[in-house]
Amino acid sequence: MRKPTGRTAAAYAPRAAIVGALVAALLATAACTGTVPPDAAAGTAPAPTSAPAIPAAPATGSPSAAPAPVPVPVPDTLRFTGTTLTGSAFDATRLAGRPVVLWFWAPWCATCASQAWTVAEIAPRYRDTVPIVGVAGLGEQRDMKNFVSEFDLGDTPQIDDRKGTLWKRFKVTEQSIFVIIDRDGTVVHQGFLDGESLSARVAALAGA
């Protein structure tokens, strides 16, 4: 290959100087604007930027234990058990803390039959506030069950008291008798009630 002549080399010299000057100017401009980090221009990698620290959640104390439910005192008037006409065990202590209506009836009693419609109507409505419990006596079990079926009393507890245990306990000597016990266990009524009076008494107890 032929060497470039002095004239040709001289011609290239200004061009090289111009290119070098442009490169230097570009690098200087990039360093000022932040496009190229100074460290990168110097050949070193930039230091990694640490992520902002996330504050720790404040420690919370353990939740306090829920207070234990206060047991409802059982009055002596509700300390009795029995067996319903369907054969289920009945425990009156579970009714403590609520007003309770005991209905003493006999299957052959015409007055009881006239009251049965009212009992069948209101007993399901007040089941949780003023329970109505039938106490059947002075008759045969078959007749008692027929009475319950005829007057749609199946949704109301009916205790089979053919031996008269509860009748004697509450000193009931005739039918039809309602014994009303308030939420404190005190007997506030014992005697006859027609349908309208019964409905009014139960509604008043439910709202008390």
The per-residue pLDDT of the chain, averaged, comes to 79
The letter for the amino acid at 139 is G
**Secondary structure (DSSP) of 142-188:** HHHHHHHHHTT-TTS-EEE-TT-HHHHHTT--SSSEEEEE-TTS-EE
The confidence score (pLDDT) of residue 53 equals: 53
% of the chain beyond a pLDDT of 90: 63
Looking at the predicted structure, is the pLDDT value of residue 2 above 50? no
pLDDT value, residue 56: 55
Query: pLDDT tens across 56-98, in order?
Result: 555 555 555 666 667 789 999 999 999 999 999 999 999 999 9
Checking if the pLDDT of 34 tops 90, the result is: no
Burial of 74 (0-12, 13-18, 19+ CB in 10 A): middle
Q: pTM higher than 0.85 for the full model?
A: no
Per-residue pLDDT reduced to its tens digit, 118-148: 999 999 999 999 999 999 999 999 999 999 9
Enumerate long-range contacts of 89-93, CB under 8 Å, 24 or more apart: 90/133, 90/157, 90/159, 92/133
Structure tokens, 176 = 């039809």
State the Cα–Cα distance between residues 74 and 71, nearest whole angstrom.
9
Q: What pLDDT was estimated at residue 170?
A: 97
Q: What is the DSSP letter of 51?
A: P
User: Percentage of residues in the chain with pLDDT exceeding 70?
Assistant: 66
In this structure, which topology does domain 76-207 adopt according to CATH?
Glutaredoxin (3.40.30)
What's residue 27's pLDDT?
42
User: According to the model, what pLDDT value does residue 5 have?
Assistant: 45
Measured distance CA(97)–CA(130) in Å, rounded: 10
The per-residue pLDDT for range 106-117, each reduced to its tens digit, is 999 999 999 999
Q: Which residue has the higher pLDDT, 29 or 69?
A: 69
